[in-house]
Amino acid sequence: MSEFKTIEFRDNSLILLNQTKLPLIEEYIKTDDYERIALSIERLEVRGAPAIGITAAYALALAFKFPNSNRKETFEKVYERLAATRPTAVNLFWALEKMKSVFYENIHGDDLYDKLLAKAFEIHNEDIQKCDLIGKNGLQIFTKKMNVLTHCNTGKLATGGDGTAFNVIRYGYANNKVIHVYADETRPLLQGSRLTAFELEQAGIPFSIVTDSTAAFLMRQNKVDVVIVGADRIALNGDAANKIGTYNLAVLCKYHKIPFYIAAPITTIDKYCKEGHEIKIELRNKNEIITIKDVQISKDSYDVYSPAFDVTPSELITGIITDTGVFNYPYDFSGIQN
């Protein structure tokens, strides 16, 4: 497969790598329609908190690609549509608010589209820089050569840059601090076995795919030295929402005395959320559980509970690696500027 780009803006259109087809098929979606972009977010064709925010920013700009006589009504409609796509990832709402400020500052200007597009580019470029800083800052957690376990996908496919937790791993490997990576398959949509494995292969980092339920046995065998995952929303007290199954890992790490780290840009901290119980958890369609790649494995009549995320209490998190530095428990982000 060629060098891939998750998100690219070219010829006044947004180009997205369709992640639902990976790792077997490289397919791109090219569109200038905000509704199609909203569907891509909902369908997880594009996913990962930072990537969702960047994609939504471009979508808002594209809504004003052509002359519009009722700008305010259009903006509100598009804003609400995009905000409704994924309720848990705070980066989505952070990016939308940034775009909202630019919109109202330039609502009557002839260059509204250009101004909105420039802001979307800025959000994208800033995330590239944040990913690099997260990777560099994360180097300090490696006190020796380590075997790492990670969950879901936190690399280029989830961000505008080289990733969050994945980039910490990548920097660690480049500096001879990472020996091997265990990638949870991450049920139900297999972002680990499909996406993280793909990115580890691309980066030349030794890895093994494991089922989510293998983590405890690996730890019991002393095969895991550190767990590093991402986050979709972090409360001011350090409670962190991430892909379902993350909380399990944190509890296991506590029992086995293994450090557990979150890696995320500072914008993932929700300055309006005091504690994790306030975080709205997205519930996904039951078909994601009873089917795998459109092959039905259970009955339609069975009830399914399918939260996309869980919340890890801050006391189980050893440290939170951000673009501004590494924070250690106990956390107090009340004065954070993001």
Residue 337 lies in a domain: no
Kindly state whether residue 172 falls inside one of the protein's structural domains.
yes
User: Quick one: 80 and 195 in the same domain?
Assistant: no
Confidence of residue 286 (pLDDT cuts 50, 70, 90): very high
Res 223: pLDDT: 98
Per the annotation, the verdict on 132 as an active-site residue is no
pLDDT tens-digit readout, 100-143? 999 999 999 999 999 999 999 999 999 999 999 999 999 999 99
Looking up residue 80, the CATH number of its domain turns out to be 1.20.120.420
Q: Has residue 321 been placed in a domain? A: yes
Domain of 189, in residue numbers: 137-328
Q: Is residue 185 part of a domain?
A: yes
Residue 336 covered by a domain: no
Cα–Cα distance list, 45 to 19, 121, 157, 326 (Å): 5, 20, 10, 31
Q: Are residues 78 and 161 in the same domain?
A: no
On the question of pLDDT at 152 being above 90, the answer is yes
Q: Are residues 101 and 170 in the same domain?
A: no
Please say if the pLDDT value at position 2 is more than 50: no
Please tell me the distance from the alpha carbon of residue 279 to that of residue 264, in angstroms, as a whole number: 17
Q: Tell me the two tokens of residue 128.
A: 């590239």
Q: Is residue 295 part of a domain?
A: yes
Token couple for 157: 């496919």
**Residue-averaged pLDDT of the chain:** 96
The Cβ of residue 259 has, within 10 Å, a number of other Cβ atoms equal to 15
Return the sign of the alpha-carbon dihedral for residues 26, 120, 334, 321. positive
Q: Are 212 and 186 in contact (CB under 8 A)?
A: yes
Looking at the structure, tell me whether residues 146 and 12 fall in a common domain: no
| Catalytic residue, candidates 162, 184, 225, 232 | 232
Distance between CA atoms of residues 258 and 82, nearest Å: 39
How distant, in Å, are the alpha carbons of 26, 182, 199, 202, 206 from that of 3?
11, 23, 11, 9, 19
Cα–Cα distance between 36 and 62 in angstroms, integer? 11
Structure confidence at residue 250 (pLDDT):
98
- Of the residues 132, 151, 174, the one at which a domain ends: 132
What is the largest distance, in Å, between two alpha-carbon atoms of the chain? Answer: 65
**End position of a domain, from candidates 132, 166, 191:** 132
CB 229, CB 247: distance < 8 Å:
no
Report how far residue 14's alpha carbon sits from residue 36's, in angstroms, rounded to the nearest whole number.
10
Amino acid at site 91: N
Q: Do 245 and 106 fall within a single domain?
A: no
Same domain, 282 and 192: yes
Residue type, 69: S
Q: Is residue 270 left, alpha or beta, with left meaning phi > 0 and alpha meaning psi from -120 to 50? A: beta
How far apart are the two ends of the chain, measured CA to CA in Å?
36
Question: Taking 80 as the threshold, does the pLDDT of residue 323 lie above it?
Answer: yes
Boundary residue ending a domain (132, 156, 176)? 132
pLDDT score at 1: 38
DSSP track, 90-107 = HHHHHHHHHHHHHHHHST
What is the identity of the amino acid at 311? V
> In this prediction, what percent of the chain has a pLDDT beyond 90?
95
Both 100 and 161 in one domain: the answer is: no
Residues 275 and 156 in one domain: yes
**Same domain? 159 vs 266:** yes
Quote the CA–CA distance of 32 and 9 in Å, as a whole number: 10
Same domain for 299 and 251: yes
What would the mean pLDDT of 140-151 be, rounded to a whole number?
Answer: 98
Its pTM surpasses 0.85 = yes
Mean pLDDT of 75-86: 97
What does the block give as tokens for 285? 């369609």
Residues 279 and 182 both lie in one domain: yes
Flag whether 297 is in a domain: yes
Span 163-187, pLDDT tens digits: 999 999 999 999 999 999 999 999 9
pLDDT tens digits, 192-216:
999 999 999 999 999 999 999 999 9
- CATH number of the domain that 185 lies in? 3.40.50.10470
Between strands 291-292 and 226-229, the pairing is: unpaired
In a domain, 294, yes or no: yes
* Residues 22, 208: Cα–Cα separation, whole Å: 18
Q: Rounded distance, CA 234 to CA 273, Å?
A: 8
pLDDT at 3: 73
How many domains does one find in the chain? 2
My answer on whether 162 and 296 are in the same domain is yes
Beta pairing, strands 146-150 & 178-184: parallel
pLDDT in tens, 21-80: 999 999 999 999 999 999 999 999 999 999 999 999 999 999 999 988 899 999 999 999
pLDDT at 271: 94
Cβ atoms of residues 280 and 241 within 8 Å: no
Enumerate residues 6+ apart whose C-beta is below 8 A from 221.
none
